[in-house]
Amino acid sequence: MKQTENQILIIFGASGDLTKRKLIPALYSLFVQNLLPEKFAVLGASRSPLTDNQFRKRVEEFLPKEKQVAEFKKLLFYQPVETNRIVDFIPLKKRLKQLSTDLQIEKNYIFYLSTPPSLYEVIPRLLSKNKLSKSSKHFRRLIVEKPFGTNLASAKELNTKLLNYFDEEQIYRIDHYLGKETVQNMLVTRFSNGIFEPLWNRNYIERVEITSAESLGVEGRGGYYDHSGALRDMLQNHLLQLVGFVAMEPPTVIDATSIRNETIKVFQSLRPIPENRIVDHVIRGQYTSSKIKNKNVAGYREEPGVDPKSRTETFIALKFYIDNWRWADVPFYIRTGKKLPTRVTEIVIHFKSVPHHLFDSGNNQASTNNQLIIRIQPDEGILLKFGMKTPGAGFDVQTVNMDFHYSDLTNTTVPAAYERLLLDCMQGDATLYARGDGVEEAWKFVQPIINAWENNPEMPIYGYPAGTWGPEESFELIPNAEWRFPCKNLTDDGLYCEL
């Protein structure tokens, strides 16, 4: 394991939900595993007037009841900070100097923006004006949470502003999906096995399908979600990043530059969808009221904070192509939505069927294509589906499963996404972080969809009852086939799961 340099992590927005629910628990897990630097401190910063002890008390409810918690909390400090003027950051600068001196920590700083996007330009500017953004002797890094803009223009503007104060090599745009162990394992599955990579192309693959389903609705976040929607919230970032990992060419070496270069080539090869063809390639939906397990479930427009006439999509399914030598004319299908039957994210590689009909017997099982299912969450693992002879007379064929589950590994800890990503940034490894040009290329692909919806208010948005797999129209995207219906458990496939 690479030795991590001594440093201080400064979390802006430290009194917010993300810090308490994700960041502090992830840091505690790294602490328990002895993966934090020898000398390390966390400085929370936000407008709330808290003391060190009050901050420690606030995060306590999100930590386990263990003896080590008391020792971990000694690493946590807090500094109230306003974000209006240059002088507002002088107390922060003094506190950092004091912590470095008192704890004998080198002045290596990571600044984490766990704040509203409106502060993504403000905080870096104030850091720069106070000479905190760069140093000739120590590293300075900036972690930015999504959204990285709301369209192509705003993404370009954000990148330009960030680069005024930090170099690209200092900026870590965090996408927690890339921190999941199974996403990273996709690279190993592809590039370390001679049985997969030779088949990973248009000659053997019929289609690729990616699903990211949530069983929950907007859960009180209707005011935010109604200005976002499934396209901006999930598809443009998380799902297209997964597409990049599935479709990329082998990198020359396993490092940040090589891997991100290859994923960006994928984004640059995405076939543009003309605005007048959006209806043929994109299905958007919105969940309606229904009854699940004999309980009435409100529709999206009935959620608090949502416009009763809202046309914000809670579901989107998309068909597209990647115009390069490897993937020419292989359709990719991605879908994501809220209030679907189960919470699951997975990638399905559908291989082409055999060219002969040796074992056709009127049984559809015989013609089922081989599938490789890479489960991102939950029940993380890999499932391979292939045909085997049914015992007995004749040559009846049935589909069987060969599966691997991470839970089968004993004495092995599968790190949470934020654990892995925070540790990577501490060590200066940006492999699993999005790069500015990649973010812009992803927005460039989805911008025509945004334009079509804005310019054609009558473009359909289909209703689907909460607890179902989205609008019926989404099933028509895949000709002569259908989406896989995943269940909570990886191997319980092909069933129509219920909430």
pLDDT tens for residues 250-281? 999 888 889 999 999 999 999 999 988 999 99
Q: How confident is the model at residue 380 (pLDDT cuts 50, 70, 90)?
A: confident
Mean pLDDT of the 451-472 span: 93
Q: How confident is the model at residue 163 (pLDDT cuts 50, 70, 90)?
A: very high
Mean pLDDT of the 355-379 span: 72
Which pair of structure tokens corresponds to residue 438?
């990649």
Which pair of structure tokens corresponds to residue 253?
């070496």
pTM of the full structure:
0.90
Residue burial 27-52, b: 16+ Cβ < 10 Å; e: rest: bbbbbbeebbbebbbbbbbbebebee
Sheet hosting strand 282-288, strand order edge to edge: 397-405, 381-389, 371-377, 344-351, 205-213, 332-337, 315-320, 282-288, 462-465
Residue 376's pLDDT is 87
Give the DSSP letter of residue 39: S
SS3 category, 383: strand
**Please, which residues have CB within 8 angstroms of residue 70's CB and are 6 or more apart in sequence?**
none
Alpha carbons 333 and 264: distance in angstroms, whole number:
19
Alpha carbons 401 and 388: distance in angstroms, whole number:
10
Helix (H) or strand (E) holding 290: strand 290-292
- For the annotated catalytic residues, the residue numbers are 238
Residue 224's pLDDT is 83
Q: At residue 386, what are phi and psi to the nearest 5 degrees? A: -150, 165
* Percent of the chain predicted with pLDDT > 90: 67
Mean pLDDT of the 358-377 span: 71
Contact indicator for 8, 43 with CB cutoff of 8 Å = yes
Number of helices (H) and strands (E) in the chain: give both, helices first. 15, 17
Residue 416's pLDDT is 82
Contact indicator for 77, 50 with CB cutoff of 8 Å = no
Q: Is the dihedral of CA 254, 260, 263, 268 positive or negative?
A: negative
pLDDT digits (tens, 9 = 90+) for 433-447: 999 999 999 999 999
Cα 94 to the chain's mean position, in Å? 36
What type of residue sits at position 261?
N
**From 36-45, 95-104, 373-382, the region with the lowest mean pLDDT:** 373-382
Per-residue pLDDT at 365 exceeds 50: no
Per-residue pLDDT at 366 exceeds 50: no
Residue 107's pLDDT is 95
Residue 410's pLDDT is 64
